[in-house]
Amino acid sequence: MVWIAMLVITSPLIRPALLPEPVSVRWQTGHFALLPGAPLAATGAAAGVARLARAQLGLTGAAPRSGTAPGVSLRLDPRLASLGQEGYRLRVDRSGVVVRSAGLEGLFYGVQTLRQLLPPEAFGGKGAPRGGWKLPCVAIEDRPRFAWRGAHLDVARHFMPKWFLLRFVDALAMHKMNVLHLHLTDDQGWRIQIERYPKLVSVGSHRKDTQTNDRPDEYSGKPHSGHYTQAELREIVAYARARFVTVLPEIEMPGHSQAAIAAYPELGNTGRPLEVATGWGVHEDVLNVEDGTIRFYENVLDEVIAIFPSKYVHIGGDEAPKKQWRESAAAQAKMRALGLKDEDELQSWFVRQIGAHLRRRGKRLIGWDEILEGGLAEEATVMSWRGEEGGLAAVRAGHDAIMSPYEWTYLDQRQTNDPALELPRGWGHLSLARIWSYEPMPAGLTPEETKRVLGAQTALWTEVIPDPATAEKQLFPRLCAFAEVVWSPRRSRLYERERPRMVAHVARLDAMRIARHPVDPVQTASDRASVGARS
């Protein structure tokens, strides 16, 4: 006992918490002091990664002229191709640090792990102290479990400023997440400038009031506005790209489109003038199925594609009530003319038109799992939110799927039962423990079907999340646990066992002044029952 205590107390370095946990970590004896002026050498193509690494590692001092001083070396190495573009090897020994990867992504992720060998204050932008950062010697090999490691953010219900998106990209990248899905349009606001249709912003980005509670109905009495210019979105895309985060744009259709119809009433079914919605829920006003409306959205998507280099474009497709199509003579005539059986097939036809347009532009369509109803469009990828059934159906039909079942991934749910910590209104409950126990790969798939599950995503819907600080509190630290679920090898993660690592990890978030919930979730009985069930 005494010996063990002595060893712990006299251990020269406490092993840092690595999160997401790498595939293989071999701690070794000794350390390396990374001095403020240590050189950072990189293969030419890695100059961008090296620039970010220098800042992230706090290497602010002037580099020595000789070039022979010990430091950090980032090396592109095709011999590591078996780890994929995102995999890397990181080695710290007494003579310095070497990160190797077959891809720039892997070099970047190796640097993110290297940062975690530094003390938490390094995450607050503090430069290396005069004596250097004391790094423990270690050999790490790592690669992601899933290719798609996403986070969705609803900027339509509450607009989130550009600076917050840049800050969120930094947080995603440091957790080795690689997709930021921006929900840019909804009933309550249109947030992306479209040059051809200026009223989408001049009308569609403003609402005159905001619902704050649904039982009883309460409203803030305050207007809400906001949009991104195309130049701002290009800036966000470039910033994210440098950090290996793809920004996935979502333009909702045919439901959740009231802001667009308010701006251009000819897109609707009734001819009635509409306002941008002020209350939440599923709204009856959906797009009509006229050829002109399809053309309108093709034109919108052409501008979207010119801004976002993402291979995928998300077209929503969820929660589109069919009442207006059932009542519309024009919609019914179209259905008959096309030989379609019902309104689900009509929505499927709509989505196919858009999917064909995207394919002509070299892009692929993603939609929420409702796009399965009435038949899936060619090459469409399904984002499964109402459970995992949509994803299962998609991969069994030969399509790709991204898992985002709300019960396990929607971070607008309450994290705790503590009213002092929580939003005034919030529907479900999703603890940190439950996220750790989430398994994205559905059981019972063939090896071929397994390959079609690209990965998984969290989502943050912002009906009751009015500003960046509240958003961050909902996101962290649960997003950190989710990053581990999508990056790290599959294994059972019981909250009690993982907790110490998270406690150490959130000191980094605190240094970055990221708002967050406590690490200790107050779990409900039902939560405890479900935790571990899928692990």
Peptide bond into 20 cis (omega under 30): yes
Residues identified as active-site: 186, 256, 319
Between 244 and 368, CB nearer to ligand ACM: 368
**What CA–CA distance (Å, rounded) separates 364 from 378?**
9
DSSP structure string for 140-188:
EEE--S-SEEEEEEE-SSS---HHHHHHHHHHHHHTT--EEEEE-EETT
**x/- contact string, 342-371, with ligand ACM (CB under 6 A)?**
--------------------------x---
Residue 103 class from Cβ within 10 Å (0-12 exposed, 13-18 middle, 19+ buried)?
Answer: buried
Of residues 370 and 472, the one with the C-beta less far from ligand ACM: 370
Is residue 154 a contact partner of residue 162, using CB atoms and an 8 Å limit? no
Place of tokens 């110490």: 500
Minimum distance of ligand ACM from residue 318's CB (angstroms): 4
Burial class (CB within 10 angstroms; exposed 0-12, middle 13-18, buried 19+) of 2: exposed
Helices then strands, each counted (H, E), the chain: 19, 20
Q: How many chain residues interact with ligand ACM (CB under 6 A)?
A: 4
3-state secondary structure of 101: strand
Asked if residues 440 and 534 have their Cβ atoms less than 8 Å apart, the reply is no
Contact status: 407 vs ligand ACM (CB under 6 A): no
Q: Which token pair is 6?
A: 């002595």
Asked if 426 and 414 touch (Cβ cutoff 8 Å), the reply is yes
Nearest residue (CB) to ligand ACM, 349 versus 385: 385
Choice from 298, 318, 379, 510 touching ligand ACM (CB under 6 A): 318
* Residue (282 or 306) nearer to ligand ACM, CB: 282
User: Judged by CB, which is closer to ligand ACM: 318, or 342?
Assistant: 318
> Rounded to the nearest whole angstrom, what is the least distance from the CB of residue 310 to ligand ACM in the complex?
18
269 to 308: interface string for ligand ACM, x by CB under 6 A: ----------------------------------------
Q: Fill in the per-residue mask, 384 to 403: x = in contact with ligand ACM (CB under 6 A), - = not in contact.
A: -x------------------
Give dist(CA 70, CA 96) in Å, integer. Answer: 5
Minimum CB–partner distance for residue 368 and ligand ACM (Å): 4
| Cβ pair 223, 206 in contact under 8 A | yes
Query: Site mask, ligand ACM, residues 217-256, x = CB under 6 A?
Result: ----------------------------------------
Give me the residue whose beta carbon is nearest to ligand ACM. Answer: 318
- Positions touching ligand ACM (CB under 6 A) are 318-319, 368, 385
